[in-house]
Amino acid sequence: MTTPSLSYWTAGRVGLVALAAMLAPAVAVEAQTEGDYLYRVTMLRAAPGHWTDLIDALRAGAEIHEEAGDAAPFGIRHSQGDHWDFMLIYPMDSFERHYSPDRVGRRAAAWESGRGSALSERVDSYTSFTEEWFATSVAVEEMSRRFEGMGLLHVEIFAGLPGKREELLEQRRMENRYYEHLNRQQNVLFVRAAGPNWDAMTIGFYANLQAYAAAGVRYSGEEQDEAARTAGFTGVAQISPYLRSLLSYHNDTLGVPVG
């Protein structure tokens, strides 16, 4: 099997640090998993017959973002699971900084150069579904570090039952602690700031499909039970049922970095 290589929309990105392969010998994993850096998460489904047209237009849009002084988005292409074709994760920093007069002015100048309006029309004509969500997560440098060198991404979106948002977020943190005790790479956690009613999203990063498949079977049942209890669960068998007891719905997707 050929491992998909990571390729960003454009080459210009800060703080890229290579991750060790997921099948390397187990070592202590220390990683930032959440933060207060703001992202805009955009999901798009291509109109019939326009998959290639849409990806070309999105690449052109990323170039204009960088011309305006904004960071290009992290791109994920759907492989199996949810209904979208592409997920774009745009670094914003914060609402205040992203919509500051200086940044709005530079963005407007770039998009009004002639290419921007035409490009927006192309994206609209090539897209049959769009949804946007705003969430906080790790700093952009850490997000770059996580994406670099990875070939398979596990994206999960969670909407909690009424009154269960905080418990759902804590369950996501408990599961990361479970991974930490097994010396597995922890997921990046996104927490809703605005937009649709998903309360959280997590992304797991894997070198390839083999690494994803091996992650859950590398450890004995006793080791997994011990790690689960240390993380706050009654045992490994409780992790999934407890999560589902908190959910209104849950979308699950495997994808690859946009190449």
User: What are 25-64's pLDDT values in tens digits?
Assistant: 333 334 689 999 999 999 999 999 999 999 999 988 888 8
What is the band of 9 on the pLDDT scale with cuts at 50, 70, 90?
A: very low
The pLDDT mean for the chain works out to 85
For residue 9, give both structure tokens. 């929309």
Instruction: For residue 53, give the DSSP letter.
Output: H
Q: Half-sphere exposure (CA, 13 Å, Cβ side) for 53?
A: 16
119 or 232: which carries more pLDDT confidence? 232
CATH number belonging to domain 154-250: 3.30.70
Q: Do 83 and 14 touch, CB atoms closer than 8 A?
A: no
CATH 3.30.70.100 residue ranges in the chain?
A: 33-148
Q: Please measure the distance between the N-terminal and C-terminal CA atoms of the chain and give it in whole angstroms.
A: 17
Q: Half-sphere exposure (CA, 13 Å, Cβ side) for 215?
A: 21
pLDDT tens by residue, 153-176: 999 999 999 999 999 999 999 999
What is the band of 22 on the pLDDT scale with cuts at 50, 70, 90?
A: very low
| pLDDT over threshold 70, residue 17 | no
Q: What is the pLDDT of residue 14?
A: 33
- CATH architecture for residues 33-148: 2-Layer Sandwich (3.30)
The H-assigned helical ranges of the chain are 51-67, 95-98, 101-111, 115-126, 140-147, 165-181, 209-215, 221-231, 239-244
Q: For the whole model, what pTM was predicted?
A: 0.84
Mean pLDDT, range 130-138, rounded to an integer: 97
